[in-house]
Structure 1
Amino acid sequence: MRKILTPLLTILHRNTCFSVRLAAMALIATLPGATLAQGLFSPAITVNGDAITGYELEQRALLLRVLNAPGNTPELARKALIEDKLKLQAAKAAGIELTPEELKAGMDEFAGRANMSTDALLQALAQENISRQTLRDFVKVNLLWRNYVTARFGARARPTDAEVDRAMGRGGASGGIQVLLSEVIIPITPQTAAQVEALADRIAQVKGYDAFSAAATQYSASNSRADGGRLGWMPLTRLPAPLQSVILGLKKGEVTAPLALPNAVALFQMRGIRETGGSDPSYAKIDYASYLIPGGRSPEALATAQRIIDSTDTCDDLYGIAKDQPPQVLERNERAPRDIPRDVALELSKLDTDETSTALTRNNGQTLVLLMLCGRTAQSIAEASRDQIGNALIEQRLQSFSASQIEQLRADAQILER
């Protein structure tokens, strides 16, 4: 019997705290009938005037015994039944009720989670001296509470599109190896190739953080040049795969050899590395937009890019900017990291959602690329739909609201134990 019902333990534990193994049924059976009735059905605890009887405590304890509930069972049972009373009172005050059909469906669902029919489950419980009413009351209070929490907090629990986007980008990963880098990104064209390569070789030989920072301020085309090329901590896995091993090979203060990118040369200096625990985030898809501006890195083109940046908040805003222009001006891509051009992947690794970069050019430096990160989809949830992610967020928030509400109800309640 216990083996059959053990799968229900997890289900019950999600809904309420458990308790007590009631002892000595044989001893109780020896008591006189009147004394037994008085002891079992008189109030053992009152919650805002509503009684919890000794019989209810015994029945809950028997159920927990069957389910092998862990912990200090007497304390858990007491807490669980007090919470049941608080939930019932809150639902009643809110006018929330169950129809007989809803209750039957709830019991059928509950039994079905143990691959049993309701009748079969009730018969199995009866063999352990657990009444039909005990299971019925348990299912009823949890259905009422679920409806209460949804009605009261459902609107507040519903995530925005932006919150779903962020959840899809996180994917549950929270740690791994992070690196602290400085960078110099130097644009290159066929006309400037020899000059840029010589400059990059000199920068690769600099010693110290200040010297590298000065070079970034003077020569870099990346957004980070305003901060001396310094980037913040970032997960190693955000960087293009070929670059990860290069970065890991650096000691603090060391600078990479010049790295060839489309239309640019890049150098990186290691400023720090740390392990944060957990696993590195791994991304299945990167969503980004590229807006092309004639004029390369001319002051006019850069000013145009800045005006666009100042007037947009998300990638979708770029469609309005590109309206009535040739289709090739704006390109929106959602690609696996391995399919993204190396220079684009490198810039995207430094961006959070809706941030921009103007470090890249195309057409031999004659076209400026305004790059915007639209979002990242983590590998672990790549197959999950937006609706599934949204529903998971709602469930998570409702659980939090439920726990907080119970604590508030308990704090406001008058609880007397005899």
Structure 2
Amino acid sequence: MQQDLMFSHFTLRSAGIVLRRTLGAVALTSMVALAAPSVSAQGLFSPVIRVNDQAITQYELDQRARFLAVTGTPGDPLKQAREDLIEDRLKLKLITEVGLVPTDEEVQEGLEGLAQRTNLSLDEFYNTMGQAGVDPQTLRDFTRVGIGWREYIGARFLARARPTDEEIDQAIGTAGRGGVQVLLSEIIVPLNEETAPQIEGFVEQVRALKTFDDFSAAASQVSAADSRANGGRLPWMELTRLPPQLREIVLNLKTGEISDAITLQGAVALFQMRGIREVEGSEQRFAAIEYATYLIPGGRTSEGLAAAQNVIDAVDSCDDFYGIAQDQSPDVLTIESLPPSEIPNDIALELSKLDPGETSTAVTRNNGQTLALVMLCGRTSEIAEDADRNSIASALTQQRLETFSNSLLSQLRAEARIIE
């Protein structure tokens, strides 16, 4: 078993596990008094949740809630217990199917390590948990699933999660003395067989515009970007959020100047510089950007945009796309984390305007026939340059493993039959 693959989801919520020998039975019991409603002895072992063909009993809920309360997990212990036990059933099913269920000896070793992180011996740990009414079997079940899931995630994703030397160098980075922010307006015009003959003339007309208002009026009329509603005007943004390939182009623009046409995949972009400023502090650099791309037939037609809006209304995060894409072709949904330099320019440009959880409908594929709904999942900041390379490599690996783990778990949950 790969015991070194420890990421936060499997370490008792990190600092959440802080037990003291001085806590008595009464104090611990009072912490979890509202962890579960009063039920009869017969009903205690009745199923209250079904996950596919597996049952979760009221007793298991009560036990996990007590355990979470004692270990200091934030939030409602009973609510969190429900979520954790549902996920445990999904994990257990998968690790059982692939033959990675830990042995009793491995579980024992895991429990000893768990006790050590509370500064208690295993006997003292059992005793402290027992005073709060937590059964040893609850601890064994928790540990068994955690170890097995870590082993599975490591076996499946570790090779993909390990950073290259170049990625470590990029993560170390070099912090600048100050950050640069730019104020831009944009026009994004779809490029396909129908629009290609007119593009050259259109670009010449736009580059001949003299004022901010003229450029804004043109953006309102023809731009395919979401910013058209604001006349193509973008808010101040850090230069480092732009795709690396566009930064030099933008920096060479004078205030009021309009860029040459920049060819993207399926579109042409023009930018007008409205302002540039330097701000105090180090500029933020990103080692990786995670984003989702969901393909919708119809391109930017009214039907395609309406379908995209229906999806936008149904999702709050990237993980929600797994439920939307269920039973569809695997090619429909892509969620990936890439260095900024490896992200296609058109997608990278849209991501630069987004905060996590926000979407864009400006990108198309298949010669404009397919709309690519893009959502920003999150950005991974580069790590300070004085950090140890091994520490940086480990941190990047664990971040990626946790991303893979969470994504897989969301997919399993979306595909499961859960009855509460």
Q: What is the TM-score normalised by the length of structure 1?
A: 0.51
Q: Would you say the 8 A contact 2:290–2:379 is kept in 1?
A: yes
Deviation of the 1:207 alpha carbon: 0.9
Residue identity in the other structure for 1:233: W
The one of 368, 386, 403 aligned to 1:365: 368
Aligned residues: 231
CA distance in 1, matches of 2:244, 2:174: 21
The one of 284, 288, 304 aligned to 2:287: 284
2:343 is aligned with 1:340 = yes
> Which residue pairs with 1:195 in the alignment?
198
| Runs of 4+ deviating beyond 2 Å | 95-98, 151-156, 171-175, 381-389
Deviation of the 1:247 alpha carbon: 0.7
CA distance in 1, matches of 2:248, 2:72: 48
Deviations 1:337-376 (A, max 9, x none): 1111111111111111111111011001100110111111
Deviations 1:228-282 (A, max 9, x none): 1011111101111121111111111111011111110000011111111122111
CA distance in 1, matches of 2:351, 2:397: 26
Q: Are the structure 2 counterparts of residues 152 and 320 from structure 1 closer, same or farther at C-alpha, using a change threshold of 3 Å?
A: closer
What is the DSSP-based 3-state SS (H/G/I as helix, E as strand, rest coil) of the residue aligned with 2:280? coil
CA distance in 2, matches of 1:299, 1:154: 47
Q: Would you say the 8 A contact 1:283–1:337 is kept in 2?
A: yes
CA distance in 1, matches of 2:378, 2:71: 32
> Which residue pairs with 1:265 in the alignment?
268
CA distance in 1, matches of 2:324, 2:292: 12
CA distance in 2, matches of 1:192, 1:312: 32
What is the DSSP-based 3-state SS (H/G/I as helix, E as strand, rest coil) of the residue aligned with 2:318? coil
> Which residue pairs with 2:310 in the alignment?
307
2:300 is aligned with 1:294 = no
What is the DSSP-based 3-state SS (H/G/I as helix, E as strand, rest coil) of the residue aligned with 1:255? coil
What is the DSSP-based 3-state SS (H/G/I as helix, E as strand, rest coil) of the residue aligned with 1:176? strand
Q: Would you say the 8 A contact 1:292–1:329 is kept in 2?
A: yes
Aligned pairs (5 A) from 1:79-228: 155=74, 176-228=179-231
CA distance in 1, matches of 2:380, 2:398: 14
CA distance in 1, matches of 2:394, 2:180: 26
What RMSD in Å do the two structures reach over aligned CA positions?
3.0
Aligned pairs (5 A) from 1:212-251: 212-251=215-254
CA distance in 2, matches of 1:384, 1:352: 26
CA distance in 2, matches of 1:355, 1:385: 26
Q: Are the structure 2 counterparts of residues 383 and 205 from structure 1 closer, same or farther at C-alpha, using a change threshold of 3 Å?
A: farther
Deviations 1:57-91 (A, max 9, x none): xxxxxxxxxxxxxxxxxxxxxxxxxxxxxxxxxxx
Identity in percent? 55
Aligned pairs (5 A) from 1:28-43: none
Point out where structure 1 has 5 or more consecutive residues left out of the alignment.
Answer: 1-94, 99-150, 161-168, 390-418
Q: Would you say the 8 A contact 1:176–1:275 is kept in 2?
A: yes
Q: Would you say the 8 A contact 2:245–2:341 is kept in 1?
A: no
CA distance in 2, matches of 1:97, 1:276: 51
Residue identity in the other structure for 1:248: L
Q: Would you say the 8 A contact 2:180–2:238 is kept in 1?
A: yes
What is the DSSP-based 3-state SS (H/G/I as helix, E as strand, rest coil) of the residue aligned with 1:280? coil
Q: Would you say the 8 A contact 1:173–1:278 is kept in 2?
A: no
Q: What is the TM-score normalised by the length of structure 2?
A: 0.51
Q: Which has the larger radius of gyration?
A: 1
